[in-house]
Amino acid sequence: MIGILDFGSAGNVRSVANAFARAGARTGIVKTYDADRSGLGGLVVPGVGSFSVVPGMVSALGGRGAAGKIGVPVLCICLGMQSMLESSEESDEASGLGIVRGKVKRIRGSVRLPQLGWNQVALAKKDPLFDGVANNEYFYFANSYAAFPQDGATVLATTKYGQRFASAVRKGNWWGVQFHPEKSGKAGQRLIGNFAEICSKGW
C-alpha cells in the first residue's frame, strides 16, 4: 500500500488519492509516517500553499533526521518537492528536509505570478518515473517559487517560465515534481502509474 501524507496543509490529498486509484494502486491517507511501524511500500507527500507550512510536513515525517532514513520510494508533489530542499525565499524561518541541497527561490522574469496552467517539462536524464513520457510533454503547474538545486545530478527535468528551473528531481529513493501529475491528464496519469510500479518492485 502507498501512503499519502496529510499533514494538515496538503490541500490536494483527495485528488492525488483518486489519481492513484485510477492507476490501480492501493492507497491510504496517513497523518504521520513511522518507518518502523508503517508497513507501507511507498509514500506520497503532496502539498499546496506557502513554504511556511513545511515545518509541519517535516514534523509529520518524524523530523529531518528520520525523514532522511525513510527506506521506501517517496514522491513529493508541488510544495512537497520544494520541501525536499534546505530553505526558501518565501519563508526565512522555515527549514526544509534538506534531502536535496539548494534553495527555493521566487521565479524571476517578465512573467505573471503565480504560473497557473500547462507548461513543458524537458527531460534531463532517463528515470523510471518518466518511462513512456515524451520529452517536452506538458504538465499542469501552479507556482510562484521554484527549486534550484546545487547539484545538477539531482535534476531529472527542467521547465522555463521567466527563467529555467528544476521541475523534477531525484535523490536516491526520493522523487519530487513541481507540477501536479494528478491534474496533468494522460501524461500525469502515466507518471503516477510509473511511481506505483516503482513502489511495487522496490526502488
Residues with catalytic roles? 78, 180, 182
Residue whose cell numbers read 500553499: 49
- Give the amino acid at 9: S
Q: What is the CA radius of gyration of the chain?
A: 15
* Spatial CA neighbour of 100 closest among 125, 122, 80: 80
- Give the amino acid at 67: A
CB 161 within 8 A of CB 176: no
Relative orientation angle of helices 13-22 and 185-201, to the nearest 10 degrees: 80
Beta strands in 54-154 (DSSP E): 74-77, 87-88, 102-106, 115-123, 137-143, 145-149
Give whole-number Cα distances, 194 to 65, 144, 187, in Å: 28, 27, 11
